[in-house]
Amino acid sequence: MRMPTTAHFKLRRKQFLAAIDTPVLLMAGDWIPRNYPANPGPFRADSTFLFLFPDPEPNAAALFDPKDKSVTLFLNERTAADALWHGPSSSFAAVKRAIGVTRVAKRSDLAGVVKRQLGRRRARTLAVADPRATAEAREICGDKVDFADASRIGDPDLLLAVAKLRNHRLPEEVKEMRLAARITRDAHKTAMAHTRPGVHEQELYGHVEGTFAKHGCVQAYGTILSVRGEVLHNHDHSNEVRRGDLVLLDAGAELPSGYCGDVTRTWPANGRFNASQRDIYDIVLAAEETAIAMIKPGVRYGDLHFTAARVIADGLTQLGLMRGSADDLVESGAHAVFFPHGLGHLIGLDVHDMEGFGDLIHYPPGRTRSAQFGAAFLRLDVDMEPGMYVTVEPGIYFVPPILHDAALRKQFRGQVDFNKAERFLKMNSGRGFGGVRIEDDVMCTDRGHDVLTSDVPKERAALEALIGSAV
Ligand code: GLY
Ligand code: MN
């Protein structure tokens, strides 16, 4: 299994030890059963654990002690039954040598070892998705961490220290992200090539998932593949793809190391954009490319969002769907009738990287989330730094519950032509126009940016050449 090197993980653990001034207990989490206990879902270690260790074992834990700079890794004992059902595993001595930690201890001794090593000192911890691991860490650390509550996921100083490290990518991590981007590209291209009127969404979904599996990857999040792209996180794949539909694919591969891609493309079922599809597509592409072009150290992510929103407002004004200056439309929030979400998010080991850490790390001191419709979904408003990795994903959607919302219609009646928008709901034999989203993954570099997913076709001509080419 391909992973960053031992030297890379040793450096990351050294950096983490230097960044903390109290002991820290980290939990990988265990298998989480799908239904009955012996039927586990696929194991996925917590991302901070993946950040510091190669290929973590289920139920692993680690104690970082800055006092003597030690790292103790706790692993399940090797039993004959495990060897029978799951195959052999390396001895503790072999793991210690391979990973380069101070010691490897029995997981069942976790509480006792922590107590003996720390005496009266207390360890901090981070809540993880596995509730049993979090409960154990709470007990051992006397900490009230809670995975479901972003304000209690861990001590704020600890979260900031982890975020600082995770946000600044090292070359081996960039290599992983490039690989995830390549596999994500292949999945998108396969889905495009197999698209034709009459195919079912689930068949295209199968091509996407099959591409991930062929490369030893899993989906980084529930793949969105739908002709109903106006439902932002649509996980249904039961529709037939029909002439006149737009197919929206939002999918990303996750490598065994945990690094992932998150790309969205939208294309016409029959291989040719019609006039309305072309008009809307070109506005979204212009918004995306304008925002991406701005990325460099020091640029505020919120400014990217509002610039993209102005490009969208301007484009929709030219089509007669909005009225007024782009500045006024974005100031009032009217653009959100068509672009109702934020421009994007951090990406890395979590597809929305460290979203569980809350706005503490997404909104620096002095900045808070807007309460305005649309901007309230802006997940990120940091100043870009070299090594930061973000998505840029504007969209335009014709969403019946938004366009028919009495309060929004009243609020924006002078700025949105709701009658004209209604015509988009009636297009495509009454199935509606749907939505267009275009998303790339962009790394901030010392001098500018690098679009790691730039090989996924998005120019209209490139898409048209590819659609249906495998059928
Ligand atoms: N890929 C889904 C999202 O970014 O929300
Ligand atoms: Mn995304």
Q: How many whole angstroms from 225 Cα to the centroid of ligand 1?
A: 12
Q: How many whole angstroms from 341 Cα to the centroid of ligand 1?
A: 10
Surrounding residues of ion ligand 2, Cβ less than 5 A: 262, 391
Taking the C-alpha atoms of residue 311 and residue 197, their distance in angstroms, rounded to an integer, is 32
Q: Interior CA angle at 350 toward 132 and 108, to 5°? A: 25
Q: Residue 440 CA: which ligand is closest?
A: 2
Q: How many whole angstroms from 346 Cα to the centroid of ligand 2?
A: 9
State the helix-helix crossing angle for 6-19 and 156-167, rounded to 10 degrees: 150
Q: Which of 223, 249, 378, 439 to mutate to test the pocket of ligand 1 (most atoms within 8 A of CB)?
A: 439
Q: How many whole angstroms from 262 Cα to the centroid of ligand 1?
A: 7
**Is residue 91 within 8 Å of residue 61, measured between CB atoms?**
no
The residues pairing with 416 across neighbouring beta strands, listed in sequence order, are 322
Q: How many helices (H) and strands (E) does the chain have?
A: 17, 15
Q: How many whole angstroms from 64 Cα to the centroid of ligand 1?
A: 33
Taking the C-alpha atoms of residue 287 and residue 126, their distance in angstroms, rounded to an integer, is 37
**Is the Cβ atom of 440 under 6 angstroms away from ligand 1?**
no
Q: pLDDT at position 471, please?
A: 84
Phi, psi values for residue 80, rounded to 5°: -65, -35
Q: Which CATH number fits domain 6-166: 3.40.350.10, 3.30.43.10, 3.40.50.280, 3.50.50.60?
A: 3.40.350.10
Q: How many whole angstroms from 237 Cα to the centroid of ligand 2?
A: 19
Q: Interior CA angle at 153 toward 104 and 23, to 5°? A: 40
pLDDT tens for the chain, 471 residues: list them. 678 999 999 999 999 999 999 999 999 999 999 999 989 889 999 999 999 999 999 999 999 999 999 999 999 999 999 999 989 999 999 999 999 999 999 999 999 999 999 999 999 999 999 999 999 999 999 989 999 998 999 999 999 999 999 999 999 999 999 999 999 999 999 999 999 999 999 999 999 999 999 999 999 999 999 999 999 999 999 999 999 999 999 999 999 999 999 999 999 999 999 999 999 999 999 999 999 999 999 999 999 999 999 999 999 999 999 999 999 999 999 999 999 999 999 999 999 999 999 999 999 999 999 999 999 999 999 999 999 999 999 999 999 999 999 999 999 999 999 999 999 999 999 999 999 999 999 999 999 999 999 999 999 999 999 999 998
Query: DSSP label at 383?
Result: B
- DSSP state string for 265-304: EEEETTSS--HHHHHHHHHHHHHHHHHHHT-STT-BHHHH
Q: Which two tokens stand for residue 190?
A: 């396969």
Provide the 10 A C-beta neighbour count for residue 98.
Answer: 12
**Is the Cβ atom of 221 under 6 angstroms away from ligand 1?**
yes
Q: Whose CA is nearest to atom 2 of ligand 1?
A: 250
Task: Give the rounded distance of the alpha carbon of 42 from its chain centre.
Answer: 18
Q: What are the boundaries of each domain within the chain?
A: 6-166, 171-466
What b-and-e string marks burial along 300-312, b requiring 16 or more CB atoms within 10 Å of the CB?
Answer: bbbebbbbbbbbb
Q: pLDDT at position 1, please?
A: 66
**Is the Cβ atom of 250 under 6 angstroms away from ligand 1?**
yes
Q: Which of 231, 393, 453 to mutate to test the pocket of ligand 1 (most atoms within 8 A of CB)?
A: 393
**Is the Cβ atom of 136 under 6 angstroms away from ligand 1?**
no
Q: Which two tokens stand for residue 304?
A: 């990217």
Q: What is the position in ligand 1's atom list of the atom closest to the CA of 262?
A: 1
Provide the 10 A C-beta neighbour count for residue 339.
Answer: 26
Q: pLDDT at position 280, please?
A: 98
**Is the Cβ atom of 377 under 6 angstroms away from ligand 1?**
no
Q: pLDDT at position 408, please?
A: 98
Q: How many whole angstroms from 471 Cα to the centroid of ligand 1?
A: 29
**Is the Cβ atom of 262 under 6 angstroms away from ligand 1?**
yes
**Greatest Cα pair distance in the chain:** 73
CATH of domain 171-466: 3.90.230.10
In 3D space, the residue among 229, 232, 263, 222 whose CA is nearest the CA of residue 246 turns out to be: 229
The residues pairing with 409 across neighbouring beta strands, listed in sequence order, are none
Name, in order, each residue with C-beta under 8 angstroms of 407's C-beta and a sequence gap of 6 or more: none
Q: Between the CA of residue 202 and those of 198, 207, 214, 249, 261, what are the distances in Å? A: 12, 9, 18, 12, 21
**Element containing residue 169 per DSSP (H, E):** none
